[in-house]
Structure 1
Amino acid sequence: MVEDMNQVEVKVFQVGDLVKGRVTKVEEKQVIVDLEGSKLDGIIPISELSSLHVEKASDIVAEGQELTLEVTKVEEEAVILSKRKAEAGEAWKRLQESYERGETIETEIKEVVKGGLVVDLGVRGFVPASLVEDHFVEDFSDYKGKTLTFKIVELDIEKNRLILSHRAVLEEEKSKMRKQSLESIEVGQVMEGTVQRITDFGAFVDIGGVDGLVHVSQLAYEHVEKPSDVVEVGQKVKVKVLSVDRDNERISLSIKETQPGPWANISEKAPKGYVLTGTVKRLVSYGAFVEVFPGVEGLVHISQISHKHVATPHEVLKEGQTIQVKVLDVNEQDQRLSLSIKELLEKEDEVKDYELPEESKGFQLGEMIGDKLKDLK
């Protein structure tokens, strides 16, 4: 009769049933639970305590704890249970809803493994290394125990596959910041930014969550061969907004527009009569343009190149040549500078005329001959 009663008790449980149990004993490799309404022991193998690897059962449960469990096997003397599967069923349902809604999930990093991070959301979630941050991370060892916010990027219940991304959260936040920044940025605005990237054609500067391009021509008033000669990554710079394309999220910036122009105070730097050293930049039919300060070119008119007749400036000068010039006139408002090479050659010509050693000697010799003739008479 007792045997019949036991059989009746066993039939109460079916594989897949969810049952309530209270932990009565925590052993090294399993946990014993008291099942409500049954005299059969419930046993939870250590492998069924969590979706993650468990070293000690006592790390997961404690005596007296009430648990919801799933029946995995019914034996004559005991019922084999799983805490992991019971939690997974509810977890998958909850995660599926979050995935469909595009919600974020905040959770703690439980393990750092080869290739990424592992979290416990009732089921094992994996975060590939490439989806942890929006920048390269060499060592993830200090991520264990950190709490981060994630988005589900892949969910497959049948394959028990859950892939999460913290990078997606960061990129979404940056996208929101970009839109907000784009709405507030106006043409002509002067802002402080940080150089993020340098290319052959310019530098990208972060101004409040959105990157703008400073074209190489807008880096400085003087000619710039390589942007890296003028700015470096991480440098704080002042920029002026030249244009904003909100639809395509493009911003054009200028560093040189925030700096004093090369012609500022030119009347003080190059007053009339001042002698400067410059470089011949361009030769034209009517003269030569000479750069005397970075971004400041003055014209040496063809009539001011030499005392001798010059048919074309190419006869006397060449581009890249370093010469001395004298300031004839300066107009800061119109950004015009008149220069002369000839003015500095006049003194040399005068010295040559003054010395005339050959003619002088000839004249003295004539006087001496005249004197001798007088003596003969």
Structure 2
Amino acid sequence: MDEREHTMPEDTTEQAKNQEHEDIMNMEDSLAYAPMEDVHPGDIVEGKVVHISNDGVLVDVGAKSEGIIHLQDLSHRRIERPEDVVKLGDVISVYVLGYEGEEGVLKLSKKRADEQEAWKKLEEAQESGQILHAPVVEIVKGGLVVDVGLRGFIPASHIARGYVSDMTPYLGQVVPLKVVELDRNKRRAILSRKIAMEIEENAKKEQLWQTIQEGQVRHGVVKSLTDFGAFIDLGGVDGLLHISEMSWGRINHPSEVLEVGQEIDVKVLRLDPEKNKISLGLRQVLPNPWEGVEEKYRVGQLYQGVVVRLAGFGAFVELEPGVDGLVHISQLAPERIHQPSDVVTVGDRIWVKILSVDAANKRISLSKRQADEDIANGALSSHDHIEEDGGSTTIGEHLNAYHAGNWDDEKEP
């Protein structure tokens, strides 16, 4: 045999190599979304979306011809058009329903494939106790419908701890869910948001109690206000912020400082795990107005303040937020008086003279009598402080506050 008969033209050899390479690429591309050549009813296979029309989509599953997914077989949700679920080029899992028409077109269902996978996940979650999260997609009689890969149902009694009269706010929310009951034959999946929330809250409480310590500064949210304080959500556990720990000054109601929903940093003062109680402080994370008070308020100087409280032994005057001083009854007037209310009332703005400052014990002794005498003698100077409506004058600066010292045990000399 002539040796030339075994020699192929150079261009033909190159074409063969190119064709072989193309065949390999096509095979790899096909295997990427459909590893099997033949498909049978009941199979779940992967395919690529190759065409979209108003009525459905064509999917190449590696068979002899593309399979069709009708609109109603695309999703368990109510959709208007295929593009709400898929787009060209998507690789999706489909369930083989069978063949239809004279030409034997392969009929597929994405909905059935999704449901098969969803049932598997639900059964695993039921067995393990796993908490699922899914969106609420519909409000129906007696409860809510959630999308868990299929239509799951939350009975009204399992939405929240209490009675839910209006379910509208839940529509569109992604909610935690605990599997309560599954029945594939009846296509029934009953879920509970209430139980899931209780499980999540207990887990948060356990984690918080394992990490919280006295002296820590924690971030929280004001959950509710009462006359005696505020409850702060620390993330699963509520702590009590007593009104006495809210401000360096005295306040009449927590609403003067806080509002529901406000985010704040608080200090952990005391813990009682047995009673599940946490005491918090807000003023401890705020600047202490008594720091440097001895440099700010000099003995012998005059200041203007507001009477904030009367006691039998004298009147308390606020000098700035959190800093109060006591005007003893003997220092209220030049003449002897029976009670402080004979001279001043709460809310009066008066001049006082600094007699002594004890920053360590948060005590400042004041005199109205001496201040009045000095003013009468023309003693006001640029060192003295005054506040007027609309702002501070050149004599002083704006000074208003709440009571900060514990003077309840003050004794009359």
Cα offset, 1:331, TM superposition:
1.6
Q: Bigger radius of gyration, 1 or 2? A: 1
Structure 1 spans left out of the alignment, 5+ residues: 1-18, 29-45, 60-64, 70-82, 352-377
CA-to-partner distance for each residue in 1:3-51, whole Å, 9 max, x for gaps?
xxxxxxxxxxxxxxxx96899xxxx9xxxxxxxxxxxxxxxxx999998
Asked if 2 retains the 8 angstrom alpha-carbon contact of 1:153 and 1:164, the reply is yes
Identity across the alignment (%): 37
Partners of 1:92 and 1:179 in 2: CA distance: 31
**1:195 aligned onto 2:221:** yes
Partners of 1:106 and 1:310 in 2: CA distance: 72
CA-to-partner distance for each residue in 1:288-320, whole Å, 9 max, x for gaps?
332323333322223322222334434323344
Partners of 2:287 and 2:185 in 1: CA distance: 66
Taking the TM superposition and a 5 Å limit, the aligned residue runs for 1:282-297 are 282-297=309-324
Asked if 1 retains the 8 angstrom alpha-carbon contact of 2:248 and 2:322, the reply is yes
**What corresponds to 2:139 in structure 1?**
114
Cα offset, 1:127, TM superposition:
4.0
CA-to-partner distance for each residue in 1:73-132, whole Å, 9 max, x for gaps?
xxxxxxxxxx999x999998996675365344577x6x93334334466x7422468849
SS at match of 1:345: helix
SS at match of 1:114: strand
Shift in CA distance, 175/20, structure 1 to aligned 2, threshold 3 Å = closer
Partners of 1:54 and 1:331 in 2: CA distance: 75
Shift in CA distance, 274/198, structure 1 to aligned 2, threshold 3 Å = farther
How many pairs align?
299
Asked if 2 retains the 8 angstrom alpha-carbon contact of 1:105 and 1:149, the reply is yes
Structure 2 spans left out of the alignment, 5+ residues: 1-40, 46-54, 56-70, 86-92, 98-108, 161-166, 379-413
Shift in CA distance, 271/155, structure 1 to aligned 2, threshold 3 Å = same
Cα offset, 1:277, TM superposition:
1.8
Cα offset, 1:176, TM superposition:
1.7
Partners of 1:190 and 1:120 in 2: CA distance: 39
Asked if 2 retains the 8 angstrom alpha-carbon contact of 1:280 and 1:320, the reply is yes
Partners of 1:234 and 1:256 in 2: CA distance: 19
Partners of 1:188 and 1:162 in 2: CA distance: 47
Cα offset, 1:326, TM superposition:
0.7
Asked if 2 retains the 8 angstrom alpha-carbon contact of 1:281 and 1:319, the reply is yes
SS at match of 1:221: coil
SS at match of 1:276: strand
**What corresponds to 1:252 in structure 2?**
279
Partners of 1:342 and 1:182 in 2: CA distance: 55
Partners of 2:42 and 2:221 in 1: CA distance: 60
**1:309 aligned onto 2:329:** no
Cα offset, 1:256, TM superposition:
0.6
SS at match of 2:249: coil
Cα offset, 1:244, TM superposition:
1.9
**What corresponds to 2:59 in structure 1?**
none
Q: Cα RMSD between the aligned structures? A: 5.3
**What corresponds to 2:250 in structure 1?**
223
Asked if 2 retains the 8 angstrom alpha-carbon contact of 1:195 and 1:203, the reply is no
Cα offset, 1:155, TM superposition:
4.5
Q: Which moved more, 1:97-106 or 1:168-177?
A: 97-106
Asked if 1 retains the 8 angstrom alpha-carbon contact of 2:267 and 2:282, the reply is yes
Pairing partner for 1:346 from 347, 350, 373: 373
CA-to-partner distance for each residue in 1:264-287, whole Å, 9 max, x for gaps?
222122211121222334444443
TM normalised by structure 2 equals 0.54
